Amino acid sequence: MRLLATTLLVPALLFAGAGTAAAANDPVACGDALTTNTRLTESLYCEDGPGLRIDTPGVTLDLGGHSIVGSAGIGVSVTADGVTVSGGEVVGFPVGVYTGTPENEYEYAGGFDLPDLPPTDDQGPPATVVLDRLQVNRNGDLGLEVAGAATTLTGSALVGNDTGARAEYGGELRVTASEVTGNGLGLQALEGGPVRVEKSLLRRNGTAAGCSESAVFVADSVVADNSTGIDYFVCGGSSVVRSFFSHNDQHIASEGFPDQLPTVGCTVFVLGGPAPDFPKAPCF
């Protein structure tokens, strides 16, 4: 049975200019591509395939407090600019949420019928995506994959995923006012995909944040009860400022030449491993 809750009646608003709107009622099912603003009225259960796809710029998907649940492919895939996904849970997929270019999506598509792709040089600047008040929980491989998009995760949680979120292929991830808890690896920055963490809580992960040939910036955050707080490998330019580290077996690990070490400033390290000795960063 492909879909337990096969069809939802969803009010979808397409804003057509200041002060005007057009309303439509469209059925939404697992595997659909959304082209208008959409609010779910019930949860979607995608038993054998992917969840929802957004490749139209400017679309808002409001989960309405509901869940998208599945076991194959991607829960929500975003390959367009100016998209917002908010207000619910994505759970159980190999990849919970994908933001980036269609070109990079092939690796994770898991059943989506992808469009023909333009040459790489014609794809334009990175898309900007906002994930607001979103719970991305217990997805098998990745909670959030950021591959070529500038993505902000705000007021959200990444809980119980193998990897909470990963930025790569030029994708940029900003995590603000969010919680990253109980993941094998909380956040990962790979080869040109920087991660910025602000006013967030990273706790009870195997490693709270890992960086390889990229950058991880942490400010005004708490990193606690992890096996390793932050693990840097050749990540020059990274920094940790105005943060609190507690009860980590190792607060910060780093490998690389002296100019590839992170800088640390105005940060407290208590209980657990020794305070790291890294170059000092300005507090502001």
Q: Find the Cα–Cα–Cα–Cα dihedral 239, 242, 246, 250, rounded to 10°.
A: 10
Name the amino acid, one letter, at 64: G
Q: What is the pLDDT of residue 126?
A: 55
| DSSP letter string, the chain | --BSS--EEEEEEEE-STT-EEEEEEEE-TTPEE-S-EE-SS-EEESSS--EEE-STT-EEE-TT-EEEESSSEEEEE-STTEEEEEEEEESSSEEEEEE-HHHHGGG-TT--PPPPPPGGGS-SPEEEEEEEEEEES-SSEEEEEESEEEEEES-EEES-SEEEEEETT-EEEEES-EEES-SEEEEEETT--EEEES-EEES-SEEEEEESS-EEEES-EEES-SEEEEEES-TT-EEES-EEEEESEEEEEES-GGGS-EEES-EEEEESPPP---B----
Contact criterion met (CB below 8 Å) for 97 and 76: yes
> Looking at residues 122-142, what average pLDDT do you find?
82
The encoded tokens of residue 108 equal 């994770």
Q: Indicate whether 70 pLDDT > 50.
A: yes
Q: Which of 104, 200, 91, 95 is nearest to 149 (CA)?
A: 104
Q: What is the pLDDT of residue 111?
A: 42
The encoded tokens of residue 22 equal 């057009």
Q: Which residues of 222-252 are buried (b: 16+ CB within 10 A; e: fewer)?
A: bbbbbbbbbbbeebbebbbbbbebbbbebbb
In terms of pLDDT, which residue wins out, 272 or 63? 63
Query: Which of the listed ranges 91-105, 220-234, 252-266 does the model predict with the highest average pLDDT?
Result: 220-234
Q: Which of 182, 154, 184 is nearest to 166 (CA)?
A: 184
Q: How far apart are CA 113 and CA 265, in angstroms?
A: 48
In terms of pLDDT, which residue wins out, 25 or 75? 75
Q: What confidence tier does 1 reach under pLDDT thresholds 50, 70, 90? A: very low
Q: What confidence tier does 101 reach under pLDDT thresholds 50, 70, 90? A: confident
**Mean pLDDT rounded to a whole number for the chain:** 83
Q: Which of 58, 64, 68 is nearest to 37 (CA)?
A: 58
Q: Percent of the chain at pLDDT above 90?
A: 64
Identify any residues that bridge with 78 across adjacent strands, giving them in sequence order: 54, 99
In terms of pLDDT, which residue wins out, 195 or 283? 195
Most distant CA pair in the chain, distance: 60
Q: Which residues of 108-118 are buried (b: 16+ CB within 10 A; e: fewer)?
A: bbbebeeeeee
pLDDT in tens, 157-191: 999 999 999 999 889 999 999 999 999 999 999 98
In terms of pLDDT, which residue wins out, 42 or 26? 42
> Looking at residues 75-101, what average pLDDT do you find?
95
Q: What is the pLDDT of residue 148?
A: 86
